[in-house]
Each structure stands twice: as structure tokens, then as C-alpha cells.
Amino acid sequence: AQTVTQSQPEMSVQEAETVTLSCTYDTSESDYYLFWYKQPPSRQMILVIRQEAYKQQNATENRFSVNFQKAAKSFSLKISDSQLGDAAMYFCAYRSATQGAQKLVFGQGTRLTINP
Amino acid sequence: NAGVMQNPRHLVRRRGQEARLRCSPMKGHSHVYWYRQLPEEGLKFMVYLQKENIIDESGMPKERFSAEFPKEGPSILRIQQVVRGDSAAYFCASSPLPSAGPNSPLHFGNGTRLTVT
């Protein structure tokens, strides 16, 4: 079974600075997808960014980018120019590409605090 | 274009009562996933359903929990004889047909917070 590990329960960053959230995963599959979700206090799960394992190029969405290291099974999220609205729980998630096995497997989460 | 709708938003039950959580997927989505989130933890997969079929229930507790997604109407997660340990946020997510590919993101509802007193 696949597992996802986020080793940083909490992180904090000064507004406008850059922060990197870590995520590692364990799988024997070669084809899969990785996601970062944001959960603000409202509890809503918001997709931040996604990465296909077969793509070598790291995904980027505005101020959010990932560092995907397939061999190391690492998938970190970098947030540039941090804003107060970025404060939330961040969850890394894995999804198999195998038909019928497409549930998301989540990490434990990292609580990100933005200091003004 | 309504997203995934879950109700109620908050549900309080006494020990031994039944809890029924409802989820209406996004329009055009025929697949539903249920997740449970304990305080300060990540979301744990419970069950994956399509209309009238359970595809994967590997995360469902063996007793007291059941889920359905009928041909008409919302998906229901039912917890019988609730205990304090069932207190959690329960999230529903939906996706279009698997042919859309596993890269198509799951769309989540805002969750139901169940409190067992």
C-alpha cells in the first residue's frame, strides 16, 4: 500500500518570504499522480498544484511550485512571496494511475503560519 | 454551477444513535469518495462508490459503517450506534468517469463535522 509522509507538523514564514513544505511517499508503482491540497479554517479542501509522475518538468502555478524527485520519492511544495491568505493546513496526496485504485492517499499535513 | 454539496454541516448525536451524512456530487460526476478526518490529522480514505456500486471499501470499519450511492439522490454515509471515537469531520469528494483519468482532480465538499456526546 502507498503511504505519504509529511515530516513537518508546523511551519512558519514571514510575509513575502519563501517557504518549502516537505513530502515523501512510498510506492512500487511507476505511474501515479501527486497533489498538494490546502485546507483553510473553513475546512474546504482546495487543490493547489498537481504533478504527473511521468513528467520530468516540475509543475508551477503562479507563486506555487514543486520540486519532484521521482527517484527519491520526494515532492516538496515551494510557496514564494508568502501572503497572509496562504495560512492553512497543507496536505500532500498520492493517487495511483491504476484503474479502480484512484483514491487519494493523504499525508498527515503541515500547518503553515504566515507572520505579518 | 454548484460544487459538491454535503449536509448537514454540523451534526450532533448521542452515543448509540445513528448518523446519516449526505453528499450530492458535482453535476456530471458519477463517482463519490468518502474520507474521515480526525482532529489535527490528514484525511483517511473510507469508501469509493459509483452509482449503485461500491468500488472500494477498504477503508471502511467492518461494523456500524455503511455507504450507498443510489441511482437517484445523494450518496449516504451511515454510522449506526455512534461512539465518541466517531467524532470527526467527514468529507465527500466526487469525480467524473474514470475515463477522465486519475489526473482529473477530486472536488471536495466542505465536510460534515460529527460530534458524538
Q: What is the per-residue burial (b if ≥16 Cβ within 10 Å, else e) of A23-57?
A: bbbebeeeebbbbbbbbeeebbbeebbbbbbeeee
DSSP code, position A15? T
Sign of dihedral through CA atoms A103, A104, A108, A113?
negative
Read off the pLDDT band of B5 (50, 70, 90).
very high
At residue B89, the pLDDT reads 96
pLDDT tens string B29-82: 888 999 999 987 889 999 999 888 998 999 999 999 999 999 999 999 999 999
Nearest residue on chain B to A92, judged by CA atoms? B42
Per-residue pLDDT tens digits of chain A, which is 116 residues long: 789 999 999 999 999 999 999 999 999 998 899 999 999 988 889 999 999 998 889 999 999 999 999 999 999 999 999 999 999 999 999 998 876 667 889 999 999 999 99
In the numeric block, the cell 456530487 is attached to B25
Nearest residue on chain A to B6, judged by CA atoms? A44
User: Kind of pairing, strands B65-68 and B10-13?
Assistant: unpaired
CB A30 within 8 A of CB A98: no
User: Chain B contacts of A99, Cβ < 8 Å?
Assistant: 98
User: Chain A contacts of B110, Cβ < 8 Å?
Assistant: 42-44
User: Which residues have a Cβ under 8 Å from the Cβ of B106 and sit 6 or more positions away?
Assistant: A104, B33, B93, B94, B95
| CB spacing of A44 vs B108 below 8 angstroms | yes
User: Which residues have a Cβ under 8 Å from the Cβ of B87 and sit 6 or more positions away?
Assistant: B114, B115, B116
- Cell numbers for B8: 448537514
User: Chain B contacts of A44, Cβ < 8 Å?
Assistant: 108, 110
Distance between CA atoms of residues A85 and B15, nearest Å:
38
| CB spacing of B91 vs A45 below 8 angstroms | yes
How far apart are the CA of A75 and the nearest CA of chain B, in angstroms? 16
At residue B41, the pLDDT reads 84
